[in-house]
Structure formats: C-alpha cells, structure tokens
Amino acid sequence: MKPRQLVVLRGRLWVSPEGDAHALQCVARTRKGSRCQNPVEHGQLLGLHEFRLGSAGYVQAYGHPGAADTVDADRWLAQHCTLHDIPEAIDCETPELRRFDIVRDVAHVQAYRSDVAYDGEPAVRAEEAGTTGAQDTITGSVAAVFEAATQLRPRPGYVNGLDYDEWYIEATPDLLRALAQLSRTCHERELANWLEQSSKPLCMEPLDAVLSYDTYPKTWCCRSVKAAGLPCELHVPERAADLGRCTYTHPGHTRICRTAPLEGGDRCKVHAA
C-alpha cells in the first residue's frame, strides 16, 4: 500500500518524506549512542481523512477534522517517543517532518475527493483542516508571482541598447510585491520586508567612503522615497556639508556631488573653479 505521508498537526499540514507519517521512528539517542527504535506513537491514534485545500483541491492526511489535536503535536514534531519526551533528550537524527508546500508537494493534491460519485462530480462536502486559509493564501500568492512573471521583458542597459550583453530583465514592482507576499505566507518575514522595500522607489545614494563618477558604487541608501530619482531626507543637497561632500548644487538637480571638497573649502576641485 502506498505510504500516507501527510499529517495535520497544529492545524497545519506536514509531510513525512521518508515514509508513512504514522510510522515515524523516534530520533532520540539512546544510552548506547544509537537511534531509538521506538515509534513516535504506539498504535494508530490518528484517522485518515480527506482535507480540502481551498481551490487547490483535496489531500488525504492523518489528522482530526476538529480543531484540537488528538496527539501531542509538540512530541510528534520533535519526533520523540513517549520514553524520550523529556527536555534532556538528545537527538541522533534530524526530525523528518517538514511543512507542506503547495508547489513542492503538488503531487499529493487531487482535484476531487477519492470517494466522488461515479459520474465524476465533486463531493458536496469534505472535512476542512486549519490549513485551508493558509493554503488559499499560498495558492493566490503563487498565482500572483506567475502573473507578474509573464510581464517580464528584456530592457536595454545603456542608452540605445546596441551592446546586447548589457540588456537585462527588470524585476518589476508587481513581481517583487508578489514575491514578498509569498515569502510572508511562508513565514520568511525578513525576506518579505526586503522584497516589499525593493518594490518601492529608493534613494540609491552611493554610500562608499571614496566616490567618483568613474567608480561603480558598492553600497547604496535603500530608504524609500516619494518618486524615482529623488534622494531621501538624509541625502538632500542641503546636508552635503554634514556628509563631508561637495556642497555645489545645480538648478533642477536633486543629487549631491559625489566628490569630497578640497581641504579648507566646501566644494570639490571641479566645482570650486
């Protein structure tokens, strides 16, 4: 019989990549230094049910249709038997259960319940797991990424684009926002925040200690601004002296001169003349 690799714990779907989720072996180290041979659970306490993942479809998984777990979810996720359900237990192997991913684990998803009527029509109802909202969000996030990706087009990297090796494909704001939403859904908050920030117009003022117009910067200011091309409030021309930069300003220009002022002056060699 095909192993049942999915289990619902804490209202979320988990996958047992190595085999049947209800046949997990304890990963704790015994006194002899070997892996414990006990199962995480003696006997099958979790029934096999069909759970709906919103519009994505249905999966078969061990679990309970209700909100409460019928097993010790913390012990299951730690993959410890009852004997090693103690704080001082040391693992011999890494726990095998991992979070279900709607894209990576799409092979487990079916369009219809397995007990559908003979005419192929979907069943009227199915037990709902607490995973439904999360998987709906993930499914929607993935769809948004795909939609934004279809809009990607090559762009010339310099003026007329004659040097084809300088063409590039820009990560559009829509794509970055879609990736941020997907990252947030997958609990990658730091990455989500960075992608969200990158989708907005940024100051991009070079922050290298030594700057020139012939040198490509290595660090930039990534503070958000009102419109592309504008500096943030920390890098407006009025603050050039405080930043140790040339104070020359040109009508209509909003950027600070990159060059340091001459010793004893407030302008660089070019703008002091």
pLDDT of residue 67: 52
pLDDT of residue 65: 64
| 28 phi/psi in degrees, rounded to 5 | -70, 155
Per-residue pLDDT reduced to its tens digit, 169-180: 888 888 888 888
Q: Which residues does 147 contact at the CB level (< 8 Å), separation at least 6?
A: 174, 178
pLDDT of residue 36: 95
Number of H helices, E strands in the chain: 5, 8
Instruction: Give the pair of three-digit tokens for residue 188.
Output: 């990658």
Contact predicate 247/237, CB 8 Å: yes
Half-sphere exposure of 43 (CA within 13 A, CB side): 4
DSSP single-letter state for residue 9:
E
- Where helices occur in the chain by DSSP H, the ranges are 73-78, 131-149, 173-185, 189-198, 269-272
DSSP secondary structure string for all residues of 18-80: TS-GGGPBP-BB-TTSSBP-SBSSSS--SEEEEEE-GGG-EEEEEE-SSSS-SS-HHHHHHT-
| Residues in the chain where the model's pLDDT stays below 70 | 1, 55, 65-70, 114-141, 146, 157-164, 210-215
pLDDT of residue 124: 37
**47 forms bridges with which residues in the sheet?**
63
Q: Which residue has the tokens 């794509």?
A: 175
Whole-model pTM?
0.44
Counting every residue written for the chain, the total comes to 273
pLDDT of residue 160: 55
pLDDT of residue 210: 66
